[in-house]
Every structure is written in structure tokens, then in C-alpha cells.
Amino acid sequence: MTPSHAVRAMHGVLLREILRFVHQRERFLAALVRPLVWLFVFAAGFRAALGLSIIPPYETYVTYEVYIVPGLVAMIQLFNGMQSSLSMVYDREMGSMRVLLTAPLPRWYILLCKLLSSTLVSLLQVYCFLAIALLVGVQFPVAGYLAVAPALVLTGLMLGAVGLFLSSLIRQLENFAGIMNFVIFPVFFLSSALYPLWKMQESSELLYRLCSLNPFTYAVELIRFSLYCKWNFEALGVVMVSLGAFWALSLLGYDPKRGLTHRQTG
Amino acid sequence: MTGSVEKDARRIQFETSPSTERDVKPILSVRNVSHAYGRDKAVDDVSFDVRSGRTTMLLGRNGAGKTTLFSLIVRLLALQHGTIQIAGQPIETAGARQAHMVGIVFQQPAIDLDLSVRQNLTYYGRLLGLAKDDREERMKEELIRLELSERAEDRVRVLNGGHRRRVEIARALMARPRLLLLDEPTVGLDPATRRSLVSFLHTLAQDDGLGILWATHLVDEILPDDTVVILSRGHIAAFGTPQDIMAQATCRDFGSAFEALTQPDRAE
């Protein structure tokens, strides 16, 4: 693979993903409606019930809406990773993934292209969501909107790699809904997306420990700190290690020795 | 004992291909390939060659192992036993140059329905690493050849089955391959479209000097000059020209010979 071939192939995959995203307006709306419902309905109700103390990176009391936004941003990326995974299983069933995997490119590079394209789409969704949140008064420091971009790339890659790995495990499209329920809900609720971990610890030490072991918690915290232009090295480390681990598992999952497809007639 | 006799018969049939053909180096060479899903053998000790300028029909009922064999050739499945060479090089050590030699049309449609014909071909051109000018030139050439120029800006979703198949063939030809792999390319097409596609693809092998491996279960897609490999229950039941196969089965028409040489296969 020459550098020019690599660039052209990457360009092709990224452009295709964006074109598909633009053509599938329902997917874009669904990606935005979900976190907006949480922001406008769930957060409004919880604001009264949940008192938040001053915890880093916040330097003063913040409204629940402000607290929940980084979690919702991570939720957008989590759903996007799963959506991308679903699209890969669908593509594989329908055949277009075969075209990609039989292209004259190393398989790791093909998967990297898919991962980057999924992350790029998640960035578009996240910035649209942050713009709407800003319109309703949920705002962050101006520099935070820029500072969060590298963090979003990392968390998008990590959650995309989770999706990639899952797509390698799912042999048939029909099995996807079950996997989604077993992944998305536990991952989202057992994290600091909706409530700070100290609150969780007050009610259950076991749940607190589970949340502390969940890489999604660290993705949320990395986004939260970055929005305030602050470092969180622990979150950064966990996200990077998780990214490496899920990427390695994805490569293993798409190794032709394991067989890409379930048996087909012919 | 019986198995050994069958194997010998297959080897004899395989080696009875005309000596002039044996002298030409094959573009695809499959030797003693076997593949099992767990304990169930889908492909069993299969050997054959595909030569440039010739159409080799891989004929078998549903479940005979055709798709498994295709998946092995394009490396969607890893080889468990035997060797496969493209242009003399084993596929395991194949690089991008070898991958460029192969054009593939899968049994299931593999084009993006939400993109236009042009966008689909551009996407594939980029995957091949083609520079813009080269990509545009090849795309124009294939659109004209497959009579798709007027539909280039249409979304694939609005095209009928025959046009969609043509887009897939145009995509496969953009690589300017030396070997074209067609996995049941006429499935779901009406008889007239099917006839026109069969004729076009056979001409393509002769005009462009392409080696074509064409998996099918439809005997009427076979022309007298084709080389035929009949696959049954994962192994080669017969190999040769349609005439050779009819003589071997002592049948007067090819359809009856195919029926006689194959048994209903297990569902894959």
C-alpha cells in the first residue's frame, strides 16, 4: 500500500460515510433527539431531586443540565459506535462490507478507515448537540469547545472500537438487538454520565465499584474535564488503554482465520 | 475403497483438459482445497484451473460449496487445506498487486443503494487507490461499455435488478482485472436480462482476455466453449467441456448430464 493509495482509500471511506449520513436524515435526527429528550425532560425533572456538590472540574455549583451534558455527549458517541456496528453487520449481510474487505488494502487499514469515519460522524452529531444546548443556555467556556475536540476523537475512537469488536462477534443481524440491550444500557447507567460517582457510592458500594471499572465513565470524565480545558490524566489513560484493547480485539475478530461470514448457500 | 476410486476418477478427469490449455499458465489455480465448518465438510479436495480468455463455469446445486470456494479464493475465509494461486502466487502471500488483478461480483448485491451509480464507482476507485484522472477515465469507459452512462447520476435504489447488476460488474471491471469472479451474478434477473448479461460476460472473456470463474446453478448459462467444473456435495463430480461431460454421463443433453452427475446437496 503506497501513501497515495492509503490517502485515497481513507478519503473514499470517509466521504462514503458522510454521504450515507447526509442521506439518512432519520439517523441524524434520532441521534440528536435522544440526548435532547434527556436534556429537556429528564434533566429538568432531576434538577429538583438531585443536589450536586462542587466537584472537579466545576468551581462552583452547576445546574443538573450542565452536569449531564458531557454524559449525553458520550451517549451520542456510544450510540453512534453501536449504530456503526449495526451498519457493519448489515453491510456484511448485504455484501458491501465484502467489497471493502476484499479491496487491495491491509485489513487493519480498512478497519481503521471504518473507525475514523464513524468517529467523524459522531463529531458532527456532538457539535450539533452542543450548539442546540448552547441555544438553551447550557454553555461551556469558549475554549472548551475547541479543547474537547481531541478528547472527542479519542472517546469516539474508543467507542467506535467497541462497536467494531461487537460487529465482529455478531454473526447475524437478528442477534443485534439483544447485544445492544446488553451493552448500551448497562454501560450508560453504570457510569458517571447521569450522576456523580460519590452519589452512587452513597447508595451502593458495589455499583460504585462497577462504575469505577467501566471505561465509559472515563470517557465521560475526559469529555467533562476537556470542556473546561482541564486535564484528567486518569481518564485519558483509561480511555487510551481501552481504545488499544478494543482495537486489538477488533483486529482479532476480523482475522480471516476466524471466518468473516456465517455459512451461506451456494 | 469407493472414495479412492472416486478421487482417481476426478484426477483423471482433471488431467484430461486439452494439452494446449495445460501449457498456458493459469490465472487461477486451485489445488486440493478442502474446507469444513466444524465437522461438516463444505469443500472436499477440489482442484481446477482458470485460464485467461476462458470462462470456467463452476456449476452446482444450492449448497454444493460454490460460495465457500469463492470466499476462500477472495480470502474472506482462511484456507484450511490445499493451495490457491493467482497468477502463480499463493493467495496467503498476496499483496495489493495481486488483489488488483481480481474483480469480484458477489452473489448478494454489494453496492450502496443510497449513493448514485457514479458515487459507488468513485468510492471503489478510491479503494483501488486510483488517481482522479485515471479513475474518471476508467469509470467513463465502464459506464459506456455497460450502457449505464445515462443512469450515472441516479441513485442505485431507483435502478432495476439488471441495472444494479451492471453497476456491480462495472465496479469489478474498474480494477481492470485479469481474473473476474462471478458468484451467481444473474440471480433474480428476468430471462431477457439474464441472456443479455450471459452473452456480455462471455464476450468479455474473449475480448479482454480475462479469466472468468462463474458460479451458477443454471445450466442454460453454459456455452459450448466453456470449461465446466461440476461441484456436488463439496467435491468435483466432473470437469471438462459440456461435450466431455455429456459423454461421461452418457446423456444427450447437458441438463440431464448435470442431473445424473449430481445429487441433491445438503443445505449449507
How far is residue A106's CA from residue B127's CA, in Å, rounded to a whole number?
11
pLDDT in tens, B96-153: 666 778 898 988 778 888 889 999 999 999 998 899 999 999 999 999 988 899 999 9
Quickly state the pLDDT bin for B94 (edges 50, 70, 90). Answer: low
Half-sphere exposure of residue B190: CA atoms within 13 angstroms, side-chain side? 6
**What pLDDT is attached to residue A256?**
64
Half-sphere exposure of residue B63: CA atoms within 13 angstroms, side-chain side? 9
Of the candidates A9, A23, A255, the beta carbon closest to that of B114 is on A23
CA-nearest residue to A93 within chain B is B108
The DSSP H or E segment spanning B238 is strand B235-240
Of the candidates A13, A257, A266, the beta carbon closest to that of B215 is on A266
**What pLDDT is attached to residue A78?**
92
Regarding beta strands B211-216 and B179-183, do their DSSP bridges make them parallel or antiparallel, or are they unpaired? parallel
What DSSP designation does B116 have?
B
| Inter-chain contacts counted by CB atoms under 8 A, chains A and B | 127
Prediction ipTM score: 0.73
Exposed (0-12), middle (13-18) or buried (19+): which is A101, by Cβ within 10 Å? buried
| Grid cell locating A163 | 462497536
Q: Which of A80, A69, A211, A215 is nearest to A148 (CA)?
A: A69
Residue B47, helix vs strand vs coil: strand
**Contact B268/A265, CB-based, under 8 Å?**
yes
pLDDT of residue B156 exceeding 70: yes
A259 contact residues in B (CB cutoff 8 A): 76-78
pLDDT of residue B178 exceeding 70: yes
CA-nearest residue to A95 within chain B is B110
How far is residue B29's CA from residue A258's CA, in Å, rounded to a whole number?
24
**What pLDDT is attached to residue A53?**
62
**Contact B115/A93, CB-based, under 8 Å?**
no
Query: Which ranges of chain A have pLDDT less than 50?
Result: 260-263, 265
**Contact B123/A12, CB-based, under 8 Å?**
yes
DSSP letter for each residue of chain A: --HHHHHHHHHHHHHHHHHHHHH-HHHHHHHHHHHHHIIIIIHHHHHHH------TT-SS---HHHHHHHHHHHHHHHHHHHHHHHHHHHHHHHSHHHHHHTSSS-HHHHHHHHHHHHHHHHHHHHHHHHHHHHHTT----HHHHHHHHHHHHHHHHHHHHHHHHHHHH--SGGGHHHHHHHHHHHHHHSSSSSS-HHHHHHH-HHHHHHHHH-HHHHHHHHHHHHHTT---HHHHHHHHHHHHHHHHHHHHHT-GGG-SS-----
pLDDT in tens, B40-55: 889 999 999 999 999 9
CA-nearest residue to A6 within chain B is B129
Q: Which of A198, A177, A193, A230 is nearest to A78 (CA)?
A: A193
**Contact B171/A99, CB-based, under 8 Å?**
yes
Quickly state the pLDDT bin for B95 (edges 50, 70, 90). Answer: low
**Contact A93/B68, CB-based, under 8 Å?**
no
How close A258 comes to chain B (CA, Å)? 8
The answer to whether the CB of B146 falls within 8 A of the CB of B174 is no
**If interface means Cβ-Cβ distance under 8 Å, which residues of chain A face chain B?**
1-2, 4-6, 8-9, 11-13, 15-16, 19-20, 23-24, 93-96, 98-105, 255-257, 259-261, 263-266
B96 contact residues in A (CB cutoff 8 A): 1, 5, 104-105
CA distances from B89 to A46, A229, B7, B43 (A): 65, 55, 26, 21
Average pLDDT of the segment spanning B164-177: 91
CA-nearest residue to B100 within chain A is A104
B100 contact residues in A (CB cutoff 8 A): 104
**What pLDDT is attached to residue B51?**
93
**Contact A95/B109, CB-based, under 8 Å?**
yes
Average pLDDT of the segment spanning B14-24: 47
**What pLDDT is attached to residue B173?**
92
**What pLDDT is attached to residue A152?**
97
**What pLDDT is attached to residue A236?**
96
Residue B152, helix vs strand vs coil: coil
Residue showing cell 473476474: B180
The DSSP H or E segment spanning B42 is strand B40-50
How close B170 comes to chain A (CA, Å)? 13
**Contact A266/B128, CB-based, under 8 Å?**
no
The distance from CA B75 to its chain's CA centroid, rounded to whole angstroms, is: 14
Q: What are the backbone dihedrals phi and psi of residue A60, each rounded to the nearest 5 degrees, phi first?
A: -150, 175
B131 contact residues in A (CB cutoff 8 A): 4, 8
pLDDT in tens, B214-255: 999 888 899 998 999 999 989 899 999 999 999 988 888 888
Quick check: pTM over 0.80? no
**Contact B126/A12, CB-based, under 8 Å?**
yes
Quickly state the pLDDT bin for B11 (edges 50, 70, 90). Answer: very low
How far is residue A217's CA from residue A187's CA, in Å, rounded to a whole number?
8
> Which of A87, A98, A172, A257 has the most B C-beta neighbours within 10 Å, making it the best mutation to test the interface with B?
A98
Residue showing cell 448485504: A94
Over the Cα atoms of chain B, what is R_g? 19
Query: Which residues, in sequence order, are bridge partners of residue B36?
Result: B41
**Contact B76/A93, CB-based, under 8 Å?**
no
> Which of B127, B134, B184, B218 has the most A C-beta neighbours within 10 Å, making it the best mutation to test the interface with A?
B127
How far is residue B122's CA from residue B124's CA, in Å, rounded to a whole number?
5
The distance from CA A179 to its chain's CA centroid, rounded to whole angstroms, is: 16
What DSSP designation does B146 have?
T
The distance from CA B56 to its chain's CA centroid, rounded to whole angstroms, is: 7
Average pLDDT, chain B: 84
**Contact B67/A266, CB-based, under 8 Å?**
yes
**Contact B77/A13, CB-based, under 8 Å?**
no
Q: What are the backbone dihedrals phi and psi of residue A86, each rounded to the nearest 5 degrees, phi first?
A: -60, -45
**What pLDDT is attached to residue B194?**
87
**Contact A99/B124, CB-based, under 8 Å?**
yes
Q: Which of B82, B10, B6, B12 is nearest to B43 (CA)?
A: B82
> Which of B41, B124, B126 has the most A C-beta neighbours within 10 Å, making it the best mutation to test the interface with A?
B126
A99 contact residues in B (CB cutoff 8 A): 104, 106, 110, 124, 127, 171
**Contact B183/A4, CB-based, under 8 Å?**
no
B66 contact residues in A (CB cutoff 8 A): 266
pLDDT in tens, B185-198: 888 788 888 888 89
How far is residue B59's CA from residue B48's CA, in Å, rounded to a whole number?
13
